[in-house]
Amino acid sequence: MSAAVATSEPEGWHTPVPDGHPAAALLCADAVRRHCREVAGHVAAGRSAHFRVHRHRLADAARYVADVIRARYPDLAVPYHSRWRHIEAGGVDRWGALAARHGLAGDEAVRAMIDLVIPSVLLDAGAGARWAFRDAASGQVLTRSEGLGVASVALFASGVLSNRANAPLRADAEALMRVRAGHVHKFFQVDDDTNPLVGLEGRANLVRQLGVVAHATPAVFGAERRLGCLFDYCRAHAAGGALQAGFVLETLLKALGPLWPGREILDGVPLGDCWPHPAASGGRVPFHKLTQWLTYSLLEPLAAGGLRIEGLDALTGLPEYRNGGLLLDLGVIEPADPALAARRLAPGSEAIVEWRALTVVLLDEIAVEIRALLGKQAGDFPLTCVLEGGTWAAGRRIAAQMRAGGAPPLDIDSDGTVF
């Protein structure tokens, strides 16, 4: 797809989603919880061919996670679960150093943070067990999400995503559309033999498509077609300086929905991370994992711009292989057939859809128990802190203990755009 074929310029959206459109009901966090609960109820009733749920094991799982939180954050001052934790891996303030070097401050620094973090999130899918990134500034060798996060800073700092030679720290639609696999290959230090990166072509294609969508969505990305103009859009829609997290997510789901390749389209509107399951009303279960991850990752830039983000727990836990793997590895979720772990499973397979739906529902439940163990309330320890403290780190830890290389407990045939 190219910018030339976009048909929605007059409305300012690549693919408008008018009120009352049937897709609108699936493009929100509430739909994720509602349909995931339907699937979880199907499993709990014993009607699943794939999984059993053992809720009596949630208490032990919560204790495991609480211990991880205390070890990682002894003062229990847990930051948000976001891409910024990966970008600052090893305690290095890479963004701060980059902004200072280029003299960025105020609103322009906020826009540049968004310019960086949106492509960074889209480039954050499973890297594979053999890939690593050497950070020249710190000497650290980083793998998986941390390595991908730091590599994305290198890509951004190069100016490849900017259409202005005198302003490299931008992400403009025209430059995004020129990104090729070779750029990712170079700045992510990929070597096909010794340092291979899973989903290389898919990542580059996603960045290009981001440029196409940004170019055709000036309602959100401004006349400049710059990702950072999302800040101006959010500020214009804030009420008394307050912005609902759910509004940010819905904006991104409607603006970026056309990004995802090969996904279902409902009456002309792409549904993104939404998959079929017979137990869900309407037959579909939305997850919107990467878009929710992006929403979590935008909280800090938007707050730096003076906006107060409210309603954080409207967002859901992220149904990916660390959170879901934690629940499998600790026996809260159990495969009905042990041979399931030996099969390669597509993201849209019924088993993976069920696993992800159970993960969303059980993360809400385990969060309640974790807060009780830590003496916290939801208001001062939202779900994003439970994830960061937290279930994601605990999922990685238990995976490393159980399998060489810390691989997830299920073998997912990922194209780099779901997990």
Quick: pLDDT tens for 358-407: 999 999 999 999 999 999 999 999 999 999 999 999 999 999 999 988 88
pLDDT (0 to 100) of residue 7 = 39
* pLDDT of res. 198: 85
Q: Is the pLDDT of residue 145 over 60?
A: yes
Mean pLDDT of the chain: 94
Can you give the pLDDT at residue 125? 76
Q: In the predicted model, is pLDDT for residue 9 greater than 50?
A: no
Percent of the chain with pLDDT over 70: 97
The residues pairing with 274 across neighbouring beta strands, listed in sequence order, are: 286
Amino acid at 167: A
Q: How confident is the model at residue 111 (pLDDT cuts 50, 70, 90)?
A: very high
Q: How far apart are CA 334 and CA 185, in angstroms?
A: 38
Can you tell me which residue has the tokens 């891996």? 89
- 161 and 115 Cβ atoms separated by less than 8 Å: yes
Give the pLDDT mean for 308-336: 97
Name the band, by pLDDT with cuts 50, 70 and 90, for residue 416: low
Separation CA 321–CA 190 (nearest Å): 23
- For β-strands 308-310 and 242-244, DSSP reports them as parallel
Strand 344-345 relative to strand 411-412, pairing:
parallel
Please compute the mean of the pLDDT values over residues 115-126 and round it to a whole number. 91
| Better-predicted residue by pLDDT, 138 or 1 | 138
3-class state of residue 211 by DSSP: helix
The Cα–Cα gap between 8 and 75 comes to: 50
- pLDDT for 178 beyond 80: yes
| CA nearest to 125, candidates 383, 409, 408 | 408
Q: Which of 214, 215, 206 is nearest to 120 (CA)?
A: 206
Residues 295 and 245 sit within 8 Å (Cβ to Cβ):
yes
Q: For residue 3, what pLDDT band results from cuts at 50, 70 and 90? A: very low
User: So what's the pLDDT on residue 128?
Assistant: 79
Q: What would the mean pLDDT of 68-87 be, rounded to a whole number?
A: 97
Residue 274 has pLDDT above 80, yes or no: yes
Give the Cβ contact number of residue 232 at 10 Å.
18
pLDDT value at residue 262: 80
CA dist., res. 85 & res. 387, Å (int): 12
**What is the arithmetic mean of pLDDT over 5-14?**
59
pLDDT band at 10 (very low <50, low <70, confident <90, very high): very low
Contact 216, 8 (CB under 8 A): yes
- Helix/strand number for the chain, H first, E second: 17, 12
**What is the DSSP code (8-state) at residue 163?**
S
Q: Which structure tokens are listed for 303?
A: 């707050």
What pLDDT does 92 receive?
95
416/127 Cα distance (integer angstroms): 8
Tell me 315's DSSP state.
S
**Pick from 95-104, 155-164, 190-199: least confident:** 190-199
Phi, psi of 142 (to 5 degrees): -120, 145
Q: Give the per-residue pLDDT at 300.
A: 97
The burial class, CB within 10 Å (0-12 / 13-18 / 19+), for 287 is buried
The pLDDT of residue 126 is above 80 = no
CB 249 within 8 A of CB 288: yes
Residue 415, pLDDT score: 66
Q: Looking at per-residue confidence, does 128 or 48 come out higher?
A: 48
Question: What is the rounded CA–CA span in Å between residue 144 and residue 148?
Answer: 6
- At 137, is the pLDDT very low, low, confident or very high (cuts 50, 70, 90)? confident
Q: How many residues can be counted in the chain?
A: 419
Phi, psi of 201 (to 5 degrees): -65, -40
| Residue 41 pLDDT exceeds 70 | yes
Residue at 16: amino acid letter: P
Judged against a pLDDT cut of 50, whether residue 245 lies above it is answered with yes
